Structure formats: structure tokens, C-alpha cells
Amino acid sequence: MKPEREQWSSKIGFILATAGSAVGLGNIWKFPYLVGENGGAAFIILYLICVVLVGLPIVIAEILIGRTAQKNPVGSFRELSKSNPFWIGIGLLGVITGFIILSYYNVIAGWSIGYVVESIKGTFENIDNPKAGGDLFISLSSSSFWSVGFHFLFMVFTVYIVYFGVTKGIEKAGKILMPTLLILIILLVIRGVTLEGAQKGINYLIQADFSVITTKTVLLALGQAFFSLSLGMGALLTYGSYMSKKENIPSSAISIVGLDTFVAILAGFMIFPALFALGMQPDQGPALIYNILPIMFNYIPGGYIFRIFFFLLLSMAALTSTISLMEVITSFVVDELKTKREITVIILGLIVFSIGVPSALSSGVLKDFTIFGLTYFDLFDFIAANIFLPLGGIFIALFTGWFWSIKKALPSLLEGADDFNPTLIKTWIFLIKFVAPVMVLIILLSSLGVL
Ligand code: PFF
């Protein structure tokens, strides 16, 4: 007899776990610095357009494929394509992408836990300028012991949760971590916007200046929407495979995308008003979170505790994302090789940890070791996030709209959603067949330098 596949115990459990996958370092680390470097409110508006026109339709498609087949990415494509090797390959590409992303994403996630520990120890207390903050970051992240040690610790947390399975591990973690994360972010937003001089930062986030928008900005916004929604590698597909056929996919997808976008925008309101209030510049690039922010808290009343809150928040956001990456590869091995989840996740954790070690050393001893001019870390990030994710996204859209076909996809989508607004469903069909594949192809070609 086939063992029962686990299912989410409630709709809210599914939404929180999936929003947990989406809300991550992308929202709290990357989105604010992209906003800061690309014109504030104008970038936010552009981002919202990309989320609605490309992100949401593919979120629905990915969850739908998983829920229909009730299998991991490879198993799902195999089943729905009637064992067509090309589509099985697309499922496999998703699993491999998850593997690669987890290996380096976990390194940055490790830094966030490292920063919680350093904040508690008071390491940042007497540092009074961003340059010294940057030097401190370099000395921490280039220490092999610090960087690899926290990479390991974060992998232990991830493995620990996935070990317990879908309801007792992932769903429970989402139900605890996501509300805590929302409370922390709201507290930090209130702290930021009530500082004297915060208004300038608020204006920066609400007054759009479109003159700064270029084609490159549009591509950045689209790429960010993709990464932030965990699209294109089977994470949403895998989470969808644990969803009951009674649930409404479009309405759940809207909640997930809405939460992800809400948290990204809140992250902007958490950071910029405080930054402007202290007379610091918004266009600091990736250095913003780890170099500038720890120092910024020194000038804020209650800064010691708010700094701990901030890095805790970052760690929790990252953890709900690493869990989803781990679940993709775990479900693949468990389904395909019929292994036991518990032992599988421990072995996979050790393998992914080992593959991530060179990434953890990329800021230190392996700094000068480059392949095609990129460090190990940057190379992995480029291949996975700029090439494999968009590629996966294009094929998920093409599969749903053309190969598996709308004729078969639609009845499956309407299970649990037969009362959903027909105009919205028609719009989804148009977006998934035409708009999404073309737009994602453009991001892919541009990141390959073809455009
Ligand atoms: N969405 C996550 C973030 O914004 O940080 C990153 C991510 C998680 C991408 C899980 C892909 C994924 F499967």
C-alpha cells in the first residue's frame, strides 16, 4: 500500500509556510538596497507591476502543478508530461537549483545569526562610522571559523525543522516564525519612523521620480520579483504538492504574494526613515545591512535591543526560506529513492553544508580564487539566480500554458476555486501563456549579456 502523503493541516498553515519561503534575505537585505540604488518609490512601483504581471501568474502555475501531481518537482513533471524526458529534466533542473541556492544562501543566513550573537556581545557598541562598520564586517566574514561555523549552525537549524516533516516541522515553524517576524518588523518600523528627521526617508519611499528608471532598472525589478517569490525552482511546486484539492489556489496565491510584497515594503520603511534621520546615504548597495545598519543603531535610543531584534528578524526570514529549499531536495530524494525522511535530511544537510564551505570562504581565504572572474560564491549566485531560476520560470509558464495545456490545467485550477472571478481566471490564462514567458525570457537574455 502506498503511504499517505502528508498534507498541510490548514489553509493558514500553507499560506504562512509558503509566504515564509518567499519572505527571506531577498526582502530584507536585497529589496531595500535595490530601492536605495534605483530611485526609491519609482523602483517600488515598477516592482509591483512585475509582481502582478509576471510573479503572481507563475506562483499560481507552480502551486497548481504540484497540487495536481502531488509529487516532488521531478515526479510532478514526469506524471503530468507522461514521462517526457525534456520535462523531467526541467523538474531536475529545479532540484539542482535548490541545491545550489541553499549552499550559498545558507552562508548569508549564517552571517545573520552571527550578527545576532555579535549584537548580544556588544561588538558594535563603540563603532562610530560606516567605514569602521565595513572593516568589522570584512574581518568577521573573512574569518574561516566564524563564517563556516555559523554556516554550519544555520544548516543544523534548517535540518532540525525539515526532519520533523510537513505539519510538525515546516508548518509549525511557519506558524511561529512568521507572526513573530511581522511583530518585530512592525516594532522596528515604528522605531524608525518616529525618529526626528525620519520624514525625509518616508518621502523617499513615497515620492516617485521616474526619470531614474532605465531598462536595467526594469530588469532588476523583474529579477528581484522572481527571486523574492521563490519562483522557478520547484519550491512552490513542492509546497503545493502538500495542498488539499479542496483549497482555493488563486486566493492563497494572492495572500502569499501580498504578504511577501508587504514585508518587502515594510523593510523599506524599517530602514530608510532611520537612515535619512541619521544623515546617511541610501545608495550603499549590498553593504547596507551588514556594514551600515549595525552602526546606525548606535545613534538610536534603545539601539542595543533594536539591533538584536533586527538581526533576529533577518535570521527568521532566512530560516523559513532555507527550510523550503531543503524541502525541495528532501522531497525529491524521499519520493524518488523511497528513503526515510529523517536520515535523508541529515545526509543532505551534510552534503549541502560541504558544498557551501567554499562559498563561506569566498570572503576570506578563497577571496582571490576566481572562476570566470567571479568568486565561488558569486559564481553560484549568478548561475542559480540569474540563469536557472528564470529558465525554470519560462518552462513552468510554457508547460502550464501550452504543453500540459490550459485545457487540462484549468479544471484542476478550478478545483476548490470554482467561485473565483472568471475575468481574473481569463487574465491569468493570458498572462501565463504570453506575457510571463516573454518577459522572463527578456530577463534571462539580459543577464547573459545578449540584450
Ligand atoms: N524568496 C527567498 C528570498 O526572498 O530570500 C529566496 C528563495 C527561497 C528563493 C526559496 C528560492 C527558493 F526556493
Ligand 1 atom closest to 231 (CA): 11
Query: Residue 70's pLDDT is what?
Result: 96
Query: Residue 283's pLDDT is what?
Result: 80
Domain ranges of the chain: 11-447
- Give Cα 140 distance to the centre of its chain: 24
Report the separation in Å between the CA atom of 325 and the middle of ligand 1, taken as the mean of its atom positions.
8
Say if CB 173 and CB 161 are below 8 A apart: yes
pLDDT exceeds cutoff 80 at 401: yes
The label of the residue with cell 523583474 reads 222
Query: Residue 195's pLDDT is what?
Result: 92
pLDDT exceeds cutoff 60 at 109: yes
More confident residue, 75 or 365: 75
The label of the residue with cell 573573512 reads 142
Query: Residue 441's pLDDT is what?
Result: 92
Specify the 3-state DSSP secondary structure of 370: strand
Query: Residue 348's pLDDT is what?
Result: 98
pLDDT exceeds cutoff 90 at 406: yes
pLDDT exceeds cutoff 70 at 3: no
- The model's pLDDT over 234-267, given as tens digits with 9 standing for 90+, comes to 999 999 999 999 999 999 999 999 999 999 999 9
What is the residue-averaged pLDDT of the chain?
Answer: 93
Question: How is residue 289 written as a grid cell?
Answer: 545591512
Report the separation in Å between the CA atom of 48 and the middle of ligand 1, taken as the mean of its atom positions.
18
- The model's pLDDT over 218-230, given as tens digits with 9 standing for 90+, comes to 888 988 998 999 9
More confident residue, 188 or 381: 188
Query: Residue 130's pLDDT is what?
Result: 78
Query: Residue 435's pLDDT is what?
Result: 96
Query: Residue 367's pLDDT is what?
Result: 84
Pocket lining for ligand 1, CB < 6 angstroms = 21-22, 24-27, 98, 101, 227-228, 230, 233, 235, 321, 324-325
Nearest-angstrom CA–CA distance, 189 and 254? 24
Short-list 119, 56, 91, CA closest to 424: 56
Report the separation in Å between the CA atom of 447 and the middle of ligand 1, taken as the mean of its atom positions.
19
pLDDT (mean) for 53-81: 98
Say if CB 148 and CB 298 are below 8 A apart: no
pLDDT (mean) for 43-49: 95
pLDDT (mean) for 33-48: 92
317 Cβ contact list (under 8 Å, min separation 6) = 23, 24, 25, 27, 28, 181, 263
pLDDT (mean) for 318-345: 98
Short-list 48, 42, 41, 25, CA closest to 288: 25
- The model's pLDDT over 142-186, given as tens digits with 9 standing for 90+, comes to 999 999 999 999 999 999 999 999 999 999 999 999 999 999 999
Query: Residue 214's pLDDT is what?
Result: 86
- The model's pLDDT over 159-168, given as tens digits with 9 standing for 90+, comes to 999 999 999 9
Pocket test for ligand 1, best of 59, 95, 105, 323 (most atoms within 8 A of CB): 105
Q: Left if phi > 0, otherwise alpha if psi is -120 to 50, otherwise beta: which for 285? A: left
Ligand 1 atom closest to 229 (CA): 1
Phi and psi at 376, nearest 5°, equal -50, -50
Query: Residue 49's pLDDT is what?
Result: 95
pLDDT exceeds cutoff 60 at 2: no
At the topology level of CATH, where does 11-447 sit?
Amino acid/polyamine transporter I (1.20.1740)
Query: Residue 26's pLDDT is what?
Result: 94
